[in-house]
Amino acid sequence: MSTTPVSPTGKSPYPSSVLAGPSKVPSTNPHLVTWVNEMAALCKPDRVVWVDGSEEEKKRLTDEAVAQGTLLPLNQEKLPGCYLHRSNPNDVARVEQLTFICTPTADEAGPTNNWMAPKDAYEKLGKLFDGSMRGRTMYVVPYIMGPAGSPMAKVGVELTDSIYVVLNMRIMARMGNIALKQLGESNDFNRGLHSTLDCNPERRFICHFPQDNTIWSVGSGYGGNVLLGKKCLALRVGSYLGRKEGWLAEHMLILGVESPEGEMTYVAAAFPSACGKTNFAMMIPPARFKGWKIYTVGDDIAWMKVGEDGRLRAVNPEFGYFGVAPGTNLKSNPNAMRTIARDTIYTNVALTSDGDVWWEGKDGDIPNELTDWQGRPWTRKGSTEKAAHPNSRFTAPMTNNPALSRFAEDPEGVPISAIIFGGRRANTVPLVIQAFSWTHGVFFGSALGSETTAAAAGKTGIVRRDPFAMLPFCGYNMADYFAHWLEMQAFITNPPKIFMVNWFRQDKNGNFLWPGFGENMRVLKWIVDRARLRVGGQETPFGWVPRAGDLDLSGLAISHEQVDAATEIDLDEWKAELESHGDFFKKFGERLPHVLELQREMFLARIETLKKRKWGAHQLD
């Protein structure tokens, strides 16, 4: 870690001729040093610290964070290397309404993004950054998204006044001198500037400048808004770079399925929030699947590029997991519980009297007394509010995951055989369905949606469209994003098969028809077998579904009638679904790829024909 003071005038202390030396600036890259100088002159910190990513530095920064009260040590016998952070109560989640894509024109950002002209954004945020770090330290955080040395990897540098951000970035990315080495003298790096300022929501903005490969975030300390390598670079800017350079940056997990014979198949899957994404990425197969293994490559983001073999290959750009704590337990995700048992930073969870952490849905009895996520006394009988914030988080190294794939750091990426889209739907969408083609699969992704729960505006069953699970994360016009997906087929000689799943289908009484969790392995096996062309399926008007007997139900307390209900195709429901797609597509006007509207119209016409012939689910037998 290199520390250099900043002059009282706020002007950069680094003469352009002084570029090297570990006691000064640990980089000879003139583009990087010049930019850091300019931002230091703008923000006027008391000192500038270049982080190196060493273990010694981690201990020093952690001790400093504890002394400041930013981190609270937990019970080191129960949770070695773990700490608790409490954020400002007004700063506990991503702020989509304050997140902007700053392109030259509004059309380039599209109707699903908030837009601000780059000139206006730089001016507005520049006034907020002016002097924002006076009395503080500016940390220079070089980092790599993607395996070091990978042709898919990207270098970013985040300047921040938050020691919490530095310690989290150490977990979430490959941080420090390793990034400076990979960058070398290149000017190709993402420029990220962050200041917590005063955490005033009225002065909070997250702005992305795709053409400049730049991110400015001000007024927040929450991870999703300030760990700039994650959603900001890996998805919003990454998706723009992917379109420009011919690859895909996706909100997808990556997992490997190994058969008892040692055959490995890789799958990428996109799920909107509250649909079991992390649980699926770390799934443990049920006892019936003895000898089968699931390996996690990534739990949240996938960068995919066509390899020399003509297959779509994927890397996880991240180095850790930034997961939601509530609902995580030994039943829903035992591998996650083992992952977060050490060297983890918890944010906004509750604290037990003996220095352990707790959240709603954690294993064991609910404690009678806790300290809640805001540091207030909480009692089981007397408190009406939740002890842990519903969006409380853990940040844990991926190397803690007992199911981590040995190919998680493969610089060439793993070959993807299947892509899965999944939402939370009580009806309409069957347990699993395979697209007829790549174009049909893109249509699946473009119309992906999940139903709201009781916690959302007091209404249930309202479908919120979240195409490709990328609605909050696409860094340009989503109609162009659909077109990019369609165009990618021309470069993939052996494209992955595309599927849609729905673990949440319900019967007429509101009971789930499928048990979910580890039992999803039964559906995953059918997907793998379909991708490898060794199992049949039943053709329906909207895709292929498993035939009776295709899903292995042995040892599962579920009737064939339940499975039939979970895979049923109801024409009236699908008609309503396709009409809803049409309403969503209208947002994009003429920019929407015409082939997607043709797909929708074709399926509507097919429904009308089948209804005249009185087609029904019984004809799937």
Is residue 424 part of an annotated ligand binding site?
A: yes
List CB contacts of 432: < 8 A, sequence separation 6 or more.
499, 500, 501, 502, 523, 526, 527, 545, 546, 567
C-alpha span between 48 and 64 (Å, rounded): 16
117 to 102, 123, 219, 241, 244: CA distances (angstroms): 5, 10, 20, 19, 20
C-alpha span between 383 and 549 (Å, rounded): 50
Is residue 251 part of an annotated ligand binding site?
A: yes
Is residue 208 part of an annotated ligand binding site?
A: no
Catalytic residue among 82, 232, 275, 474: 275
Measured in whole angstroms, the distance separating CA 404 from the mean position of its chain's CA atoms is 17
Is residue 43 part of an annotated ligand binding site?
A: no
Is residue 517 part of an annotated ligand binding site?
A: yes
The residue behind tokens 């794939």 is 405
C-alpha span between 55 and 599 (Å, rounded): 54
Is residue 477 part of an annotated ligand binding site?
A: no
Is residue 174 part of an annotated ligand binding site?
A: no
Is residue 222 part of an annotated ligand binding site?
A: yes
Is residue 582 part of an annotated ligand binding site?
A: no
Is residue 459 part of an annotated ligand binding site?
A: no
Residue among 496, 363, 514, 370 nearest 441 (CA): 496
Phi then psi for residue 590, to 5 deg, are: -70, -10
Burial class (CB within 10 angstroms; exposed 0-12, middle 13-18, buried 19+) of 434: buried
Beta-ladder partners of 506: 512
Is residue 273 part of an annotated ligand binding site?
A: yes
Is residue 295 part of an annotated ligand binding site?
A: no
Is residue 232 part of an annotated ligand binding site?
A: no
C-alpha span between 234 and 113 (Å, rounded): 17
Is residue 200 part of an annotated ligand binding site?
A: no
List CB contacts of 360: < 8 A, sequence separation 6 or more.
326, 327, 386, 387, 388, 390
Question: Following CA atoms 75, 78, 79, 83 in sequence, which dihedral angle do they give, to the nearest 10 degrees?
Answer: -20
Is residue 194 part of an annotated ligand binding site?
A: no
Beta-ladder partners of 217: 194, 206
Is residue 386 part of an annotated ligand binding site?
A: no
C-alpha span between 170 and 52 (Å, rounded): 10
Is residue 192 part of an annotated ligand binding site?
A: no
Q: Tokens for 542?
A: 């909207």
Tell me, yes or no, if 82 is annotated catalytic: no
Is residue 616 part of an annotated ligand binding site?
A: no
- Could you write out the DSSP letters of every residue in 432-499? EEE-SSHHHHHHHHHT-EEE--TTTTT--S-EEE-GGG-TTT--S-HHHHHHHHHHHGGG-SSPPEEE
Is residue 212 part of an annotated ligand binding site?
A: no
Quickly list H helices, 177-270: 177-183, 223-226, 238-245
List CB contacts of 293: < 8 A, sequence separation 6 or more.
257, 258, 285, 403
C-alpha span between 396 and 321 (Å, rounded): 5
Is residue 520 part of an annotated ligand binding site?
A: yes
| Residues in the annotated binding site for substrate | 94, 222-224, 273, 391-393
| Residues in the annotated binding site | 94, 222-224, 231, 251, 273-279, 300, 391-393, 424, 517-520
| Residues in the annotated binding site for GTP | 274-279, 393, 424, 517-520
| Residues in the annotated binding site for Mn(2+) | 231, 251, 300
Residues with active-site annotation: 275
